[in-house]
Amino acid sequence: MINDLWYKNAIIYCLSVSTYMDADGDGIGDFRGLMNRLDYLQGLGVTAIWLMPFQPSPLRDDGYDVADYYGVDPRYGTLGDFVEFTHGCKQRGIRVLIDLVVNHTSDKHPWFQDARSDPKSQHRDWYVWAKKKPKHADDGVVFPGVQKSTWSYDKLAKAWYFHRFYDFQPDLNTSNPRVQAEILKIMGFWIQLGVSGFRMDAVPFVIAKKGAHVSRPTEQYDMLRTFREFLSWRKGDAIVLAEANVQPKTDLEYFGASGERMQMMFNFAVNQHLFYALATGDSRPLTKAIKATKTTEATAQWGQFLRNHDELDLGRLTTRQRQTVFAAFAPDPNMQLYGRGIRRRLAPMLQGDRRRLELSYSIMMSLPGTPVLRYGDEIGMGDSLHLPERNCARTPMQWSTEPQGGFTKNKKPTLPVISGGAYGFEHVNVAQQRRDPNSLMNWMERMIRTRKEAPEIGWGQFSILQTRTPEVLAIRYDWRNNSVLVVHNFSATPREVRLELGAENSGCLVNLLSRENSDPDASGQHCLILEPYGYRWFRIGGLDYILKRSVT
Ligand code: NOJ
């Protein structure tokens, strides 16, 4: 296969325009500000931006409550600014993925306003209604503790409407062919304005059958093929990155047995077990998750991540495992959310321990798939736990020691910039780290570069090597006659492991990050000594690998 699948070796960086950079001084980030930071992003080495919702919205769920799918919220700029932005990205070789939030609209969306106004209205059947409160109304809430029900009564409509998420997010009746056609139109619109695809919100719910009589949602997977086909007709290399926190046995339904559905999915299973490994040192459940989510089609790719804009959802761990992760990283109930997750950023979870931060990003960037970084993680930003729900990890980017961290000239930023203490902008900011050769940010830049030069990880076949040490995970990648080996020690103490690489491409190991080589002993094994939380990225067989790279 030719290397056209750009997402197989991409570095994705997710950000929200509202908290990245404010150019007009109103305290809210905007596209002009973001454009001024594209050189920074290019320098960091990211190759794609996942841009969170920026459409007009009452902002009751950080923009995931869209009130107009074809516009830009005036607080962030205009459609003209958006096109300048996608153009600026293209000039720098950066692709743009935007959120596609079509499971639901805002209750302020004109479609919903029309739908509720009259049973005969054009948009009535764009939503999901019931005359009486459905039996299962209190089941399946996504935000327990904050959201009470999935059905609410609308006085004007004199009917109950379905909302998988908050009550101000009425679900679209996605089985309705007219709604489906509109979803395609929305995709077509943004594709025309220069995006390379979509991070599709809440995919299992988008494709679920909805209604008062549905007690267990059934997915209509073929809808995914329709989205994919449409996208490919409009723009051959556009992709969908699906948010679908599902069991590994269902992954194939989302990718499609012959890769005809979603190109990418976030790997929630690996994410949760990775945190378990970080909390306990035991990498065996992580190994299981990596194996269970092995993809079979070359077009299918995982998005590997550590933290994002939501809580770290640990719902797929066993109760014991979840409690162990809570105890390690979120002992205070205020750090936990919805009974299943942690709402903190990574750096404070790891108490700012540089060794563990490096270990975490190193493993994330070398897992089978494409890394997805969260803005601010490159400098080790912290969180504000006094902010409600998930807002604690959505504070403005910290650029410098200027007032408001250089994010805005306004004294009142959209969310308070973290100030004072170990994670305040006075200590943690881009400008200072840029000038410090040993900063986390410069380390990250180097790792991104190393990751891009190891396409074996994004493209290749992986195998997990036996280390006989639960704390040490060793993954080998093979692609086009080239091989890479990554080794991570999750333990707080040093570990010695003996590795057998197998017959092919064996020989010496060359460390890609420091001057270190390893030669096999007489029995063909490599003996590696890893320091506490140590990690290694090796090329197998030496540095003349490019000369050996084959075309298929
Ligand atoms: C998933 C998004 O990641 C989350 O932030 C949002 O609240 C829900 N979908 C509802 O759109």
- pLDDT tens for the chain, 552 residues: list them: 667 899 999 999 999 999 999 999 999 999 999 999 999 999 999 999 999 999 999 999 999 999 999 999 999 999 999 999 999 999 999 999 999 999 999 999 999 999 999 999 999 999 999 999 999 999 999 999 999 999 999 999 999 999 999 999 999 999 999 999 999 999 999 999 999 999 999 999 999 999 999 877 799 999 999 999 999 999 999 999 999 999 999 999 999 999 999 999 999 999 999 999 999 999 999 999 999 999 989 999 999 999 999 999 999 999 999 999 999 999 999 999 999 999 999 999 999 999 999 999 999 999 999 999 999 999 999 999 999 999 999 999 999 999 999 999 999 999 999 999 999 999 999 999 999 999 999 999 999 999 999 999 999 999 999 999 999 999 999 999 999 999 999 999 999 999 999 766 578 999 999 999 999 998 889 999 999 999 999 999 988 999 999 998
Ligand 1 centroid from CA 221, angstroms: 20
Best residue among 19, 61, 66, 102 to mutate for probing ligand 1's pocket (most ligand atoms within 8 Å of CB) is: 61
> Which atom of ligand 1 is least distant from the CA of 103?
11
Structure letter (DSSP) for residue 137: T
For ligand 1, whether the C-beta of 165 sits within 6 Å is yes
Gyration radius (Cα) of the chain, Å: 24
Q: What's residue 513's pLDDT?
A: 97
Dihedral angle of Cα 121, 125, 131, 137, to the nearest 10 degrees = -140
The DSSP annotation for 236-260 comes to TT-EEEE-----GGGHHHHH-TTS-
Amino acid at 69: Y
Say if CB 221 and CB 261 are below 8 A apart.
yes
Best residue among 107, 165, 394 to mutate for probing ligand 1's pocket (most ligand atoms within 8 Å of CB) is: 165
Q: What's residue 217's pLDDT?
A: 75
For ligand 1, whether the C-beta of 191 sits within 6 Å is no
For ligand 1, whether the C-beta of 268 sits within 6 Å is no
Say if CB 65 and CB 73 are below 8 A apart.
no
Residue with CA at minimum distance from ligand 1 atom 2: 201
Ligand 1 centroid from CA 145, angstroms: 16
Q: Which of 476, 474, 458 is nearest to 466 (CA)?
A: 474
The DSSP annotation for 416-446 comes to PPP-SSTTSTTTS-HHHHHT-TTSHHHHHHH
For residue 333, which phi and psi values (nearest 5 degrees)? -55, -30
For ligand 1, whether the C-beta of 64 sits within 6 Å is yes
For ligand 1, whether the C-beta of 253 sits within 6 Å is no
CA distance 353 to 338: 27
CA distance 81 to 154: 37
Ligand 1 centroid from CA 499, angstroms: 43
Ligand 1 centroid from CA 525, angstroms: 48
Which of helix, strand or coil describes residue 90?
A: helix
- Tell me the catalytic residues: 201, 243
Best residue among 52, 59, 101, 162 to mutate for probing ligand 1's pocket (most ligand atoms within 8 Å of CB) is: 101
Kind of pairing between the strands at 525-530 and 495-500? antiparallel
The CB-side HSE value for 378 (13 A sphere, CA atoms) comes to 32
Among all chains, which residue has been given the structure tokens 């809210």? 28
Q: What's residue 505's pLDDT?
A: 55
Ligand 1 centroid from CA 98, angstroms: 14
Which contacts of 257-261 are long-range, i.e. CB under 8 A and separated by 24 or more positions? 257/297, 258/297, 259/297, 259/298, 259/299, 259/300, 260/225, 260/228, 261/221, 261/224, 261/225, 261/228
For 345, the enclosing helix (H) or strand (E) is none
CA distance 511 to 54: 42
> Which atom of ligand 1 is least distant from the CA of 308?
3
Q: What's residue 249's pLDDT?
A: 94
- Count how many residues are written for the chain: 552
Q: Measured between alpha carbons, how far is residue 450 from residues 67, 443, 474, 539, 547 in Å?
A: 42, 10, 18, 11, 18
Q: What's residue 308's pLDDT?
A: 97
Among all chains, which residue has been given the structure tokens 């999750």? 490
CA distance 148 to 137: 9
CA distance 220 to 307: 29
For residue 533, which phi and psi values (nearest 5 degrees)? 55, 25
Ligand 1 centroid from CA 53, angstroms: 10
Ligand 1 centroid from CA 128, angstroms: 19
Residue with CA at minimum distance from ligand 1 atom 5: 310
Q: What's residue 1's pLDDT?
A: 62
Q: Which residues contact 104 (CB under 8 A, 6 or more apart)?
A: 65, 163, 164, 165, 169, 170, 171, 172, 202
Structure letter (DSSP) for residue 534: -
> Which atom of ligand 1 is least distant from the CA of 65?
11
For ligand 1, whether the C-beta of 61 sits within 6 Å is yes
